[in-house]
Amino acid sequence: MRKETLERVRRFTDEREWDQFHSPENLAKSIVIEAAELLECFQWNGGEYDMQHVKEELADVLVYSYNLLDKLGLDVDEIVNMKMSLNEEKYPVAKAKGNATKYNQL
């Protein structure tokens, strides 16, 4: 996300004085609520979906995720790189390549 986009997200909350509702717990609830609305786009027929609806719900997941990063003083690149290091170790290419059972029973 570009700096100006992130600043717009922050200004939205600031101008409405909504930071008071943005406890880490409330933001975690909000992320799962929006993620479920995103899943709803694929509820009965996973192969057909309304792209505008998908865009809006995915944007909501991202906005709340960046809100939570801000709230906890976290850096997106730092935590994603930390997690990718864990993932790379957990799923070595040699074992994981093309493996459908991947995440679960590797």
Q: Which of residues 6-35 bind a second copy (CB under 8 A)?
A: 8-9, 12, 15-18, 20-21, 23-26, 28-33, 35
DSSP 32-64: HHHHHHHHHTTSS-TT---HHHHHHHHHHHHHH
Tokens standing for residue 80 = 């994603």
- Determine contact, residues 22/13, Cβ cutoff 8 Å: yes
Q: Is 68 in the site for a second copy (CB under 8 A)?
A: yes
Tokens standing for residue 91 = 């799923």
Give the interface size with a second copy as a residue count (CB under 8 A). 72
Q: Is 69 in the site for a second copy (CB under 8 A)?
A: yes
What is the nearest approach in angstroms of a second copy to the Cβ of residue 91? 6
Q: Is 89 in the site for a second copy (CB under 8 A)?
A: no
Q: Is 51 in the site for a second copy (CB under 8 A)?
A: yes
Which one-letter amino acid corresponds to residue 72? L
